[in-house]
């Protein structure tokens, strides 16, 4: 075999794809119930869009972008996340901007050049939701509640919400200085990357996963102690709302997240059984991003969920069985093959029935074996005989009454499936 799937990517094949459909359908249903509408943005964007939002000093921008020049030499990047593209789309569309607040979601592949391992890929899928146009703590609560609703919809129990606040333009610079002073005094204990982070973005040190940095990080000043009064009040109001919504959370003062656009609230949801990659998803408030992109002052908050991780955590709850066909139409003679296709179409047309037909010129007995192998509920035989269509109940292993015509056959099958023929 000459070709292999690229490292860090995978094919989602029949047998697994049913699990994805299941997750997508459930997600869309939750989004609909909360009033969120879908946005589909391109898979690539101008590189600058991500550099300016995710942040120059983040791992994502420094090490993980798939960047390329197009034929005119423009620098483009496969999207590593969905928030910056969504904000761009929001700013470009007067109709979407007119909605205030705008409740939007997306679902699709993202690309990061990371070291692949279980739950971490170079192409992975995210579900994301963004609420643009509210600075109120109720918006934060709605977001976390929506996240919880999706996770519950797919049957996850045992999840932990981690919650923190990173302050705003008033108190964050003060905290940054406190952190810088603290780490400067302990520079020798930091890893090479963190020494660099100390110069560019000291807050990023709190996110370092290198074990030797852990004890230094553990002693660092607590961000919650340096919040200004309005940020502290906002954080309290968010916690209050979560209590009222019966959402359990843990305050996690070391949670900074891997992207630079956050202000105030940040959160993650962790699930049992995911090992090292135990964050199902995360998000936070980004009150400055729309303005940074040249738009009006528009506070916003959102989250993304890794779909591979959510499916991993959902385990058996996500079904992998394909739906079984209702009917196989069996051509009793080669000349009846096209008639079988015509009848199959007539049976598929009204609504929900899945009808299969042989396209390989197999003998009638080979077709019957195939019908039972694919688990068809009924076999219907063509050509039609003098007594009408012969029908076999494959599940019961016995012949069913003949049906005089297509209309009767369809009505008979639908009734047995508990369906009513649509009136048309
Ligand atoms: P993020 O934390 O970078 O946030 O990614 C969110 C989730 O995507 C992670 O918790 C994880 O489940 C999944 N994920 C990230 N990288 C990978 C990977 N290499 N392989 C598999 N899954 C992965 C964001 O992307 C922000 N846009 C979230 C947000 C939305 N903030 C505000 N709005």
Tell me: the pLDDT tens digits for 44-61?
Answer: 999 999 999 999 989 999
pLDDT of residue 209: 85
Is residue 424 over pLDDT 80?
no
pLDDT of residue 350: 65
pLDDT of residue 318: 87
DSSP string, 99-137: SSSEEEEEEEEEE-----BTTB-SEEEEEEEEEES--SH
Strands (DSSP E) found in 275-422: 279-285, 300-306, 327-331, 355-357, 378-382, 389-393, 398-403
Mutate to test the pocket of ligand 1, among 126, 162, 307 (most ligand atoms within 8 A of CB): 126
- Identify the band that residue 273 occupies on the pLDDT scale cut at 50, 70 and 90: confident
Question: Across residues 236-254, what is the average pLDDT?
Answer: 96
What is the model's pTM? 0.92
Residue of minimum CA distance from atom 12 in ligand 1 = 306
pLDDT of residue 10: 96
SS3 318: coil
pLDDT of residue 86: 98
pLDDT of residue 207: 86
What is the atom index within ligand 1 of the atom nearest the CA of 82?
A: 27
pLDDT of residue 319: 83
CA distances from 337 to 156, 176, 191, 347 (A): 48, 75, 71, 16
pLDDT in tens, 122-151: 999 999 999 999 999 999 999 999 999 999
Q: What is the mean pLDDT of the chain?
A: 94
Residue 10 Cβ contacting ligand 1 at under 6 Å: no
- Identify the band that residue 158 occupies on the pLDDT scale cut at 50, 70 and 90: confident
Residue 107 Cβ contacting ligand 1 at under 6 Å: no
Residue 143 Cβ contacting ligand 1 at under 6 Å: no
> What gap in Å lies between CA 424 and CA 413, rounded to an integer?
17
CA 128 to ligand 1 centroid distance, Å:
9
CA 83 to ligand 1 centroid distance, Å:
10
pLDDT in tens, 193-207: 999 999 988 998 998
- Identify the band that residue 81 occupies on the pLDDT scale cut at 50, 70 and 90: very high
> What gap in Å lies between CA 292 and CA 91, rounded to an integer?
11
> What gap in Å lies between CA 124 and CA 121, rounded to an integer?
6
Residue 112 Cβ contacting ligand 1 at under 6 Å: yes
Question: Across residues 221-225, what is the average pLDDT?
Answer: 95
Is residue 349 over pLDDT 90?
no
CB 34 within 8 A of CB 143: no
pLDDT of residue 423: 36
Residue 106 Cβ contacting ligand 1 at under 6 Å: no
What is the atom index within ligand 1 of the atom nearest the CA of 285?
A: 32
Share of the chain above pLDDT 70, in %: 98
Residue 356: CB atoms within 10 Å: 18
CA 305 to ligand 1 centroid distance, Å:
6
Share of the chain above pLDDT 90, in %: 87
Is residue 118 over pLDDT 90?
no
Please name the residues in contact with 266: beta carbons below 8 A apart, sequence gap of 6 or more.
163, 164, 165, 166, 255, 256, 257, 282, 283, 284, 285
Mutate to test the pocket of ligand 1, among 281, 286, 314 (most ligand atoms within 8 A of CB): 281
What is the atom index within ligand 1 of the atom nearest the CA of 259?
A: 3
pLDDT of residue 422: 47
- Identify the band that residue 42 occupies on the pLDDT scale cut at 50, 70 and 90: very high
pLDDT of residue 417: 80
CA 191 to ligand 1 centroid distance, Å:
24
Is residue 347 over pLDDT 70?
yes
């Amino acid at each position: 075999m000459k070709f292999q799937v690229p490292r860090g990517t995978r094919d989602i094949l029949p047998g697994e794809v049913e699990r994805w459909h299941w997750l997508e359908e459930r997600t869309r249903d939750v989004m609909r119930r909360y009033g969120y509408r879908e946005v589909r943005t391109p898979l690539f964007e101008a590189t600058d869009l991500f550099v300016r939002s995710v942040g120059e000093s983040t791992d994502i921008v420094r090490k993980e972008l798939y960047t390329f020049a197009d034929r005119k030499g423009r620098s483009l990047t496969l999207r590593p996340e969905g928030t910056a593209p969504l904000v761009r789309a929001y700013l470009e569309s007067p109709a979407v901007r007119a909605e205030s607040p705008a409740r939007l979601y997306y679902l699709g592949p993202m690309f990061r050049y990371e070291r692949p391992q279980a739950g971490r890929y170079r192409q992975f899928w995210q579900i994301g939701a963004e609420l643009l146009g509210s600075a109120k703590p109720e918006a934060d609560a709605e977001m976390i509640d929506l996240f919880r609703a999706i996770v519950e919809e797919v049957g996850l129990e045992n999840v932990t919400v981690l919650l923190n606040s990173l302050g705003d333009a008033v108190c964050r610079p003060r905290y940054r200085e406190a952190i810088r002073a603290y780490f400067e005094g302990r520079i020798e204990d930091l890893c090479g990357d963190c020494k660099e982070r100390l110069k560019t973005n000291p807050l990023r040190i709190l996110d370092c996963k290198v074990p030797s940095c852990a004890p230094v990080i553990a002693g660092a000043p607590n961000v919650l102690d340096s919040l200004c009064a309005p940020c502290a009040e906002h954080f309290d109001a968010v916690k209050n709302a979560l209590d009222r919504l019966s959402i359990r959370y843990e305050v996690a003062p070391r949670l900074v997240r891997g992207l630079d656009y956050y202000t105030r609230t940040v959160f993650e949801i962790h699930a049992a059984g995911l090992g090292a990659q135990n964050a199902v998803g995360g998000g936070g408030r980004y009150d400055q991003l729309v303005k940074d992109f040249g738009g009006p002052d528009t506070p916003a908050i959102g989250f993304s969920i890794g779909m591979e991780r959510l499916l991993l955590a959902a385990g058996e709850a996500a079904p992998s069985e394909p739906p079984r066909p209702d009917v196989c139409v069996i051509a009793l003679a080669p000349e009846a093959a096209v008639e079988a296709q015509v009848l199959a179409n007539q049976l598929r047309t009204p609504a929900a029935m899945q009808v299969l037909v042989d396209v390989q010129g197999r003998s009638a007995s080979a077709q019957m074996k195939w019908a039972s192998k694919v688990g068809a509920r009924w076999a219907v035989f063509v050509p039609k005989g003098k007594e009408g269509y012969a029908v076999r109940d494959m599940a019961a292993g016995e012949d069913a009454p003949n049906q005089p015509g297509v209309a009767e056959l369809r009505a008979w099958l639908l009734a047995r499936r508990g369906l009513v023929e649509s009136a048309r």
